[in-house]
Amino acid sequence: MSEVQEEFQKAIKVVKAAGADFQAAFMIKYFLLSWTKFHPVSDSLVIIPTYNEKENIRKMILKVFSLSKEFHLLIVEDNSPDGTGDIVKEMMPDFAGRLFILERKGKLGLGTAYIAGFKWALERDYKFVFEMDCDFSHNPDDLIKLYSACANDGADLAIGSRYIKGVNVVNWPLGRVLMSYGASIYVEFITGLPIKDTTAGFKCYSRKVLETIDFERIKFMGYAFQIEMKYTTWKLGFKIIEVPIIFTDRTEGTSKMSSRIFKEAFFGVISLRFKRISPRK
């Protein structure tokens, strides 16, 4: 039995004691909600991984749903002890068919969170799939610019770039700016990847890119995951456009950056240079 069928059966049990007219109206409404879960009205899904983001999650959801273009939201929630997931589930009835949650058993890494989200999106009819942080370092208003780059300008991957026009970073200490900017120069030097912001995490993929990439061959989890996905997209021959954005460091919550993540990126780039890239079979 499919998930839609299971949900439909639950609805039948709930309303079987009600009058026939009420049953009919309720079932039609419930079926439509279930249908849109798998056949979305919007062509765009924004994936936001979360771990301890209670200060930001409610504001982020409301902001995304206030935009002039309709986006759907998938929160990939890693069992946050601060109750982030509970906030999302509390808000879901108000945004039925638009707000979704994918709950995991613990903190399993950024890369696996996005891959789980990509697979979820590909089971549905979305044409464009976005990566975005929950902490407002990525301005949700820029989702529309990334969408336009893919939908109107022919990009297969649109990157919200901090470095395509100078250095556009707010509230970062100089050391972190130099580390991030230097990492992009290092990646370009080692791999030849012609991108100014190789570690950027604010992106829009067209569906065909995600359908082509073999997720089983994506091995890195942090900064290196972002680099590996861009490198794979480029090597597979897809068109990449960098869209200038202003990156603002989080003001609430705690950063997930660590020395382990940075080391994975530094040494992982060397292995990427010699990795054989092939499309999914």
pLDDT in tens, 193-214: 999 999 999 999 999 999 999 9
| Structure confidence at residue 257 as a pLDDT band (50, 70, 90) | low
Report in angstroms the alpha-carbon separations of 151 from 11, 145, 208, 230.
37, 10, 13, 19
Q: Does domain 42-273 have CATH number 3.20.20.150?
A: no
Per-residue pLDDT, averaged over 214-242, amounts to 93
143 and 149 in contact (C-beta within 8 Å)?
A: no
Q: Return the higher-pLDDT residue of 249 and 262.
A: 249
Residue 41 has pLDDT above 90, yes or no: no
pLDDT of residue 46: 98
84-119 pLDDT, tens digit per residue, is 999 999 999 999 999 999 999 988 889 999 999 999
Residue 32 has pLDDT above 60, yes or no: no
pLDDT of residue 215: 96
127-165 pLDDT, tens digit per residue, is 999 999 999 999 999 999 999 999 999 999 999 999 999
Per-residue pLDDT, averaged over 56-66, amounts to 98
Q: Where are the domains of the chain?
A: 1-39, 42-273
| Structure confidence at residue 21 as a pLDDT band (50, 70, 90) | low
pLDDT of residue 82: 96
CB atoms within 10 A of CB 168: 15
Q: Which of 113, 43, 97 is nearest to 256 (CA)?
A: 113
User: What is residue 171's DSSP assignment?
Assistant: S
Q: Which of 171, 234, 169, 176 is nearest to 202 (CA)?
A: 169
Average pLDDT over the chain reads 87
> What order do you get walking across the sheet with 128-131 strand by strand?
99-103, 72-77, 44-50, 128-131, 203-206, 157-161, 240-244
Q: Return the higher-pLDDT residue of 52 and 265.
A: 52
pLDDT of residue 135: 94
| Structure confidence at residue 122 as a pLDDT band (50, 70, 90) | very high
pLDDT of residue 258: 55
d(CA 235, CA 214): 13
Residue 262 has pLDDT above 90, yes or no: no
Among 36-50, 64-78, 157-171, 244-258, the range with the most confident prediction by mean pLDDT is: 64-78
Beta-carbon contacts of residue 229 (< 8 Å; ≥ 6 apart) = 213, 218
